[in-house]
Amino acid sequence: MNRQYRLTYFMILFITALLPGFYSCNGEEGDDEYNGVELTGTGSLTLQFNHLFGGKPLKYAPDSFFSAAGDTIKITKLAYYVSNITLENEAGVKTNLNTYHLITESVSSSKTITLSNIPAGKYKSISFMLGIDSIRNHSGVQDGDLDPAYGMFWTWNTGYIFFRLIGRFGKADKPISYDVGGDKHSNVFNFSLTGNKVKSNQVQMQLNMDLAEFFTGPNMINLQQDAHEVHSGTDTQILPRLHQNMKDMLTLTNIQ
């Protein structure tokens, strides 16, 4: 065997020895191409809720905002429930984290929800309810964020106030007071996680709630003409319109 032949033979053996590792690396690289949220081990998920009005950061009165109908609006209270946060994996299996959270604009800590001990997996979507599911809504007095002491509970048969918005409008500072509840008026939001490349056991998501949508689309609310005080889960006039508008209030803006 001459030197050139030995060198060629050695190179062939060397390349052959590398091939299994080469394909293995390709496999790992393909795994890195996963689009979505991939939790490793036991993971945690943090949801950060930001409140806006017409794209501007929400501030309580005396700051004011303009609705699409031209009403001058000042907000003095915003509170709502987020519940049944659910992750769906690649195989379509859903994991309901069975949590209930009261978010209040004036309580900064409430706007950040951190959930731990989430099963490892590759998740393609996240969903949650703005409101309370019918079972817990009619289970009477409860504790935690569902404690009636927070003032978001009507009665055991009527249930909880899912969404509360209080303020004033117009030059005369007329009151705005919307308490939205009733099983028919909860909203489920579902956000796709594909298109995001996150591979970590600590995931953070930013969500924006724009209150301008409450008064805008698809149903324009004119406070000079429409009801601006609602305290019922069964109102048949304006509540269905508000319920539709609320579907557009929340967007998922960032995942990391």
212, 215, 217, 220: CA torsion to nearest 10: -140
* Within-domain flag for 50: yes
**How large a percentage of the chain has pLDDT more than 70?**
88
Question: By C-alpha distance, which of 97, 102, 101 is closest to 123?
Answer: 97
* Within-domain flag for 16: no
Q: Is the pLDDT of residue 75 over 90?
A: yes
Can you give the pLDDT at residue 234?
A: 77
Question: By C-alpha distance, which of 81, 234, 84 is closest to 162?
Answer: 81
* Within-domain flag for 10: no
- How many CB atoms within 10 Å of residue 112? 13
* Within-domain flag for 72: yes
Average pLDDT over residues 196-204: 88
Range in 77-81, 83-87, 236-240 the model is least confident about? 236-240
Q: Is the pLDDT of residue 217 over 90?
A: no
SS3 38: strand
For the chain, what is the domain count?
A: 1
CA distance 102 to 111: 9
* Within-domain flag for 167: yes
Q: Please report which confidence band the pLDDT of residue 32 belongs to, taking 50, 70 and 90 as the band edges.
A: low
Contact 230, 162 (CB under 8 A): no
Question: 7 - beta bridge partners?
Answer: none
pLDDT, averaged across the chain: 86
Contacts of 57-63 with CB under 8 Å at 24 or more apart are 58/105, 58/211, 60/105, 60/106, 61/167, 61/168
* Within-domain flag for 239: yes
Can you give the pLDDT at residue 185?
A: 92
Average pLDDT over residues 144-148: 96
211 phi/psi in degrees, rounded to 5: -70, -15
Can you give the pLDDT at residue 42?
A: 84
Contact 246, 214 (CB under 8 A): yes
Contact 46, 113 (CB under 8 A): yes
Q: What angle do CA 173, 179, 181 make, to 5 degrees?
A: 165
195, 111, 246, 137: CA torsion to nearest 10: 110
Amino acid sitting at position 172 = A
> Structure pTM?
0.85
What are the pLDDT digits (tens) for 34-46?
788 988 888 999 9
Residue-number span of the structural domain to which 76 is assigned: 34-255
CA distance 178 to 194: 35
Q: Please report which confidence band the pLDDT of residue 158 belongs to, taking 50, 70 and 90 as the band edges.
A: confident
Average pLDDT over residues 45-52: 97
Contact 98, 251 (CB under 8 A): no
* Within-domain flag for 14: no
* Within-domain flag for 26: no
Structure tokens at 115: 């959930």
Can you give the pLDDT at residue 31?
A: 54
